[in-house]
A and B are shown apart, each in its own frame.
Chain A
Amino acid sequence: MTEANIVVSAAVGTDSAIEVIVDNGTDVPLQAGQDLDGAAESISLAASAAKSIRLPGAGSGVHRLHLQILPHPPEFPDVVTLLVTAGDGSITGQAFVTAIE
C-alpha cells in the first residue's frame, strides 16, 4: 500500500474461513495493534515476511479485523490503520496511511 511495501491480500479458504495476509516488505520488524472481532492484542510483523491472520468462517456472520501498524522510521515512517470486513460473501478493506515526520 505504501512505497515502503506493506502488501495486504485476503482470500477465502476451502473451509470458508478468511485468511488475511499482511506482507511486511520492509527490512525492519513492525509493531502493530490488532483487534479481531473484539479481541485485542499486540502483534509483531517480522521484517521481510508475511503474517497470516485467520478470520472465522464466512458462513458465521460478519467478521472484522482492525490493525494499527506503527511506524519504524526512517525505514517505514507511516502509521497504517487497516480494516477488513468479511461477511455476506464479500471482503472489504479500508486503510489510512499517514506519514509521521
Chain B
Amino acid sequence: MHGQLNNGLDVPDGRLALVLSAAKEIEPGSRAMLLLAEGLFRLDVVVAEDTLRTVLRNLSGGVIETETTLGTVTGESVLFGDAASHEPGRAGLGFTIATGADAVWVRAMIATLRFADRGTVQVAAQAILLQAPAA
C-alpha cells in the first residue's frame, strides 16, 4: 500500500492545484516510490548513508525542467516529539512539467528521520502542483 494522500486546492485565481503527501520507512540502499502524480511524474528516493537521492520519472510525455537552485524549499518543516533525536534531514525539489502550451509547477519538500534501532529511514514528502498561468 502506497499511503499517499491527494487533494485538490482552491487557489484565488482559479488555477488547478493539488497537494500530494506520503511517507515511507525504508532500509538504507533500497529504492522506494515516494510520490506519484498519475500522468505527470513519479518521484522515487534512495537513502545511502547520509545521502538522499531522488529519481524523477517523467510520465507526462512532455518536458520536465528542474530548477538548478539547490535546496529549493517553499514552506516550513516542523519537528516535534522525539523527532529531533532521529537525525532529521530536509531537502527541497522544484520543477516544471510542460506539455504543449500547458505547464505545471511542482514544489516538493522532503524530510527524513533515521530510526537506528529499526535500521530504517523514514522519508516523507509534500508536493504542491500548480497550473502555470496562461502565457
Contact = CB atoms under 8 A, between A and B. Distances in A.
A94 B109 contact: no
Contact of A96 (B17, B117, B126): B126
Contacts of A97: 75-78
B85 to A, nearest CB: 8
Given A85-B122, A100-B17, A70 B7 contact: yes
Interface in B46-92: 74-83, 86, 88
B86 A92 contact: yes
B5 interface: yes
A84 interface: yes
For this complex, into which size category does the number of interface residues on chain A fall?
A: 20 to 34
Given A91-B81, A100-B11, A79 B126 contact: yes
Contacts of B111: 94, 96
B100 interface: no
Contact of A64 (B5, B23, B82): B23
Contacts of B126: 79, 81, 96, 98
A35 B23 CA distance: 11
Contacts of A95: 77-80
B75 A96 contact: yes
Nearest to B8: A70
Contact of B81 (A38, A66, A70, A93): A93
B3 interface: yes
Given A92-B81, A96-B75, A101 B19 contact: no
Interface string B1-43: 1010111011110000101011101000000000000000000
Contacts of B17: 100
Given A83-B23, A95-B77, A100-B128, 11 more contacts: A40-B5, A62-B118, A81-B19, A81-B21, A81-B126, A83-B122, A85-B113, A88-B117, A94-B113, A97-B78, A98-B19
14 contacts: A62-B25, A64-B23, A70-B9, A70-B19, A81-B21, A85-B25, A88-B117, A91-B81, A91-B82, A94-B88, A96-B78, A97-B78, A98-B109, A98-B126
